């Protein structure tokens, strides 16, 4: 009785071994990099020539139904050499010839994970070759007869499906088979397929527009441009250290000059940092602007900007003028030579974002800052001047290029004339900062007049006719010659550092 039952199973299995029935289903979901489902994505199975579109949930299915082309009388009875079956992970096999049973098992990606040749008749526990949970495909061949099985396992083979040999053959993927996804505004994605029965979770990446190019300057929020010092250790030798700042000396244009540098916490020489130069005022010096804890003229180091650098994005520099009392030169360009050589020296020794160089200063420090803004537009991204003037300083001919510019000035300033700053320094900047024309040339925006504070408090006016990459801001307040402008209380309530921090932060 037992032998008879075995022969019935053999007949069913042998018939299936020589049939040519097959079916497959390729399905899945398509979304963007944020996980949002994408509708109407064109999905193509390239070798099969089958296509589909995703629905409003991003889902697609490419399916081919089973086709049974076996003969009604099952000629396999004449040619078969044996039978195979899988049940609960146990492979049963038997053949009448000396040919071995070849077993190959593939994972859902089409990668072969197991191969075994079996002789004679018997059983084989597939758990010896497969441990991981998932769906698998077993291809078992006996001579020229071949059968594919699909089964799942939780690691112990307690669950199987498609285990009976009379099931449909899974259609093997053609050589170099691939599935392609095309959607407007996204990069085309092509995925090779090792099997035609699979489920995919696909994410498409949005096409990144090419970085804009300009006749002059950078786009807002441009990628950093690393200096030559990136990836290198500084060779500068400090001569003094105070409050975390280091002092260095150099020779420039025949003069002995020095400067102070404060690096960000955990400085990384592979990360490009922004850099801010703080130019000191008359009667002060570079050391005070780099190390003093606070008073009316310097409420904290570097005009209050170091305290606001919460993300450690800046390298801070305080260059020393020619003298303390009259710090910046009035009759020649040696301060400009010093600045250019100093910036180059720092860019060669530290990792600096050369597209984000900023300069700020008060009074005489504002004068030299504004002077540099006429000459270094190709190296300085933006400046902030507090109580600037167009006299008592060397002023080169403006190179005619735009630069981002911010000013803070007291309307009652009796030292550096307010109207001179508004009607001369400001207008010279605006002349170059108008929105670019079709040829990329900047236009004249000097006809726009800023709104000014009327009574107490302050008013910051953002010009509307300038190019957005070269903004201009003019802040007036009802005060005198003091950079720590405030609306009430005293200098410790100044709003200036925050405004300057936001102005520099937009680039």
One DSSP character per residue, 224-260 reads: P-B-TTTTS------SEEETTEEEEEEEETTEEEEEE
Which residues partner with 52 through β-bridges?
A: 43
Structure confidence at residue 212 (pLDDT): 83
Is the pLDDT assigned to residue 34 strictly greater than 70?
Answer: yes
Range scoring the smallest mean pLDDT among 81-95, 205-219, 259-273 = 81-95
What's the pLDDT at 471? 98
**pLDDT score recorded for residue 135:** 74
Q: For residue 103, is pLDDT > 80?
A: yes
Q: Point out which residues pair with 250 in neighbouring strands.
A: 257
pLDDT for residue 254 is more than 50: yes
The total domain count for the chain is 2
Can you give the pLDDT at residue 129? 67
Q: Quick one: pLDDT at residue 145? A: 63
* 257 in any annotated domain: yes
Same domain as 248, residue 179:
no
On whether both 276 and 198 belong to a single domain, the answer is no
Same domain, 286 and 383: yes
- pLDDT-derived band at 77, boundaries 50, 70, 90: very low
Place of tokens 């037992």: 2
Residue 457: inside a domain: yes
Q: How confident is the model at residue 399 (pLDDT cuts 50, 70, 90)?
A: very high
DSSP state of 128: G
> Which pLDDT score is estimated for 224?
97
CA–chain centroid gap for 492, Å, is 38
Q: Is residue 495 part of a domain?
A: yes
H helices, E strands: number in the chain: 9, 25
pLDDT of 114 reads 82
Task: Place 143 in a pLDDT band, splitting at 50, 70 and 90.
Answer: low
Lowest mean pLDDT among 102-116, 342-356, 372-386: 102-116
Question: According to the model, what pLDDT value does residue 255 have?
Answer: 96
Residue 217 resides in a domain = no
Pair (501, 379) in one structural domain = yes
Domain co-membership, 120 together with 267:
no
Q: How confident is the model at residue 166 (pLDDT cuts 50, 70, 90)?
A: very low
Predicted pLDDT of residue 31: 97
Q: Is the pLDDT of residue 73 over 60?
A: no
Coil, strand or helix: which one is 39? coil
**Domain annotation covers residue 389:** yes
**pLDDT at residue number 16:** 35
User: Residue 1: is its pLDDT beyond 60?
Assistant: no
For 92-107, letters b (16+ CB in 10 Å) and e give bbbbeeebbbebebbb
pLDDT (0 to 100) of residue 30? 97
Q: Are residues 252 and 305 in the same domain?
A: yes
Confidence of residue 172 (pLDDT cuts 50, 70, 90): low
H or E element that contains 6: helix 2-17
> Does any domain span residue 332?
yes
Q: Which residue has the higher pLDDT, 9 or 285?
A: 285
Q: Are residues 155 and 268 in the same domain?
A: no
CATH of the domain at 172: 2.60.40.3080
What is the three-state SS of 322-377?
CCCCCCCCCCCCHHHHHHHHHHHHHHHHCCEEEEEEEEEEECHHHHHHHHHHCCCC
Write down the pLDDT at residue 132: 72
Give the pLDDT of residue 124: 78
Averaged pLDDT of the chain: 85
Instruction: Answer whether residue 257 shows pLDDT above 70.
Output: yes
Mean pLDDT for 272-300 is 90
**CA atoms of 303 and 301, how far apart (whole Å):** 6
Q: Which domain holds residue 180?
A: 2-204
Confidence (pLDDT) at 130: 72
> Are residues 408 and 265 both part of a single domain?
yes
pLDDT digits (tens, 9 = 90+) for 293-325: 877 777 789 999 999 999 999 999 999 998 877
Domain annotation covers residue 214:
no
- At 360, is the pLDDT very low, low, confident or very high (cuts 50, 70, 90)? very high
Which pLDDT score, from 0 to 100, does residue 206 have? Answer: 94
Tell me the mean pLDDT in the region 222-245: 97
312 and 450 housed in the same domain:
yes
């570079």: which residue's tokens?
286
Is residue 394 pLDDT above 80, yes or no? yes
pLDDT in the model for residue 122: 80
Percent of residues, the chain, with pLDDT higher than 90? 66
Q: Given this model, what pLDDT does residue 381 score? A: 98
Q: Could you give phi then psi for residue 452, rounded to 5 degrees? A: -125, 155
Q: What is the mean pLDDT of residues 416-433?
A: 97
Q: How far is CA 148 from CA 18, 86, 106, 164, in A?
A: 11, 10, 11, 10
Whether 77 and 185 share a structural domain: yes
Are 142 and 248 found together in one domain? no
Q: pLDDT band at residue 341, thresholds of 50, 70 and 90?
A: very high
What value, to the nearest 5°, has the Cα angle with vertex 451 and ends 449 and 453? 145
Nearest to 316 by CA among 245, 401, 243, 373: 245
Same domain flag for 199 and 246? no
Q: Burial letters for 282-318: b for 16+ Cβ neighbours within 10 Å, e otherwise?
A: bebbbbbbbbeeeeebbbebbbbbbebbeeebbbbbb
Six token digits for residue 295:
């008073």
Tell me the CATH number at 500.
3.40.50.1820
Question: Is residue 95 assigned to a domain?
Answer: yes
């Amino acid at each position: 009785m037992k032998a008879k039952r075995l022969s019935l199973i053999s007949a069913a299995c042998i018939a299936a071994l020589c049939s040519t029935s097959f079916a497959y289903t390729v399905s899945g979901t398509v979304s963007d990099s944020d996980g949002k489902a994408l509708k109407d994505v064109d999905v193509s199975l390239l070798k099969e020539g089958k296509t589909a579109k995703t629905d409003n949930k991003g889902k697609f299915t490419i399916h081919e139904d089973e086709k049974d082309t076996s003969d009604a009388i099952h000629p396999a009875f004449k040619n078969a050499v044996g039978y195979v079956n899988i049940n609960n992970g146990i492979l049963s096999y038997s053949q009448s010839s000396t040919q071995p049973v070849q077993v190959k098992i593939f994972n859902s990606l089409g990668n072969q994970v197991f191969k075994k040749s079996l002789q004679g008749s018997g059983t084989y526990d597939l758990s010896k070759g497969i441990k991981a949970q998932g769906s698998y495909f077993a291809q078992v061949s006996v001579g020229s007869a071949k059968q594919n099985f699909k089964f799942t396992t939780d690691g112990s083979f307690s669950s199987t499906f498609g285990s009976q040999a009379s099931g449909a053959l899974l259609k093997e993927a053609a050589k170099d088979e691939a599935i392609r996804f095309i959607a407007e505004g996204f990069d085309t994605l092509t995925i090779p397929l090792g099997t035609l029965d699979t489920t995919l979770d696909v994410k498409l990446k949005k096409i990144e527009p090419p970085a804009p190019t300009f006749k002059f300057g950078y786009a807002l929020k441009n990628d950093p441009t690393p200096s030559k010092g990136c990836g290198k250790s500084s060779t500068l030798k400090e001569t003094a250290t105070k409050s975390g700042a280091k002092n260095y000396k150099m020779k420039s244009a025949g003069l002995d000059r020095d400067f102070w540098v404060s690096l960000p916490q955990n400085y990384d020489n592979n990360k490009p940092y922004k850099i801010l130069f703080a130019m000191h005022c008359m009667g002060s010096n570079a050391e005070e602007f780099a190390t003093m804890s606070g008073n009316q003229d310097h409420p904290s180091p570097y005009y209050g900007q170091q305290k606001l650098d919460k993300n450690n994005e800046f390298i801070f520099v305080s260059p020393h003028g020619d003298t303390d009392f009259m710090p910046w030169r009035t009759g020649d360009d040696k301060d400009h030579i010093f600045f250019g050589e100093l910036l180059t020296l720092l860019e060669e020794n530290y990792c600096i974002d050369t597209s984000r160089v900023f300069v700020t200063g008060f009074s005489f420090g504002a004068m030299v800052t504004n002077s540099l803004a006429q000459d270094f537009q190709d190296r300085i991204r933006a400046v902030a001047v507090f109580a600037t003037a167009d006299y008592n300083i060397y002023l080169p001919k403006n190179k005619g290029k735009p630069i981002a510019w911010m000013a803070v000035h007291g309307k009652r300033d009796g030292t550096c004339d307010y109207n001179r700053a508004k009607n001369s320094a400001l207008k010279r900047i605006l002349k170059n900062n108008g929105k670019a024309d079709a040829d990329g040339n900047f236009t004249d925006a000097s006809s726009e007049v800023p709104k000014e504070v009327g009574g107490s408090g302050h008013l910051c006016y953002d010009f509307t006719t300038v190019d957005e990459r070269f903004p201009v801001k003019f802040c007036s307040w009802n005060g005198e010659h003091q950079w720590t402008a405030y609306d009430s209380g005293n200098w410790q309530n100044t709003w200036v550092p925050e405004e300057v921090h936001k102005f520099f932060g937009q680039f």
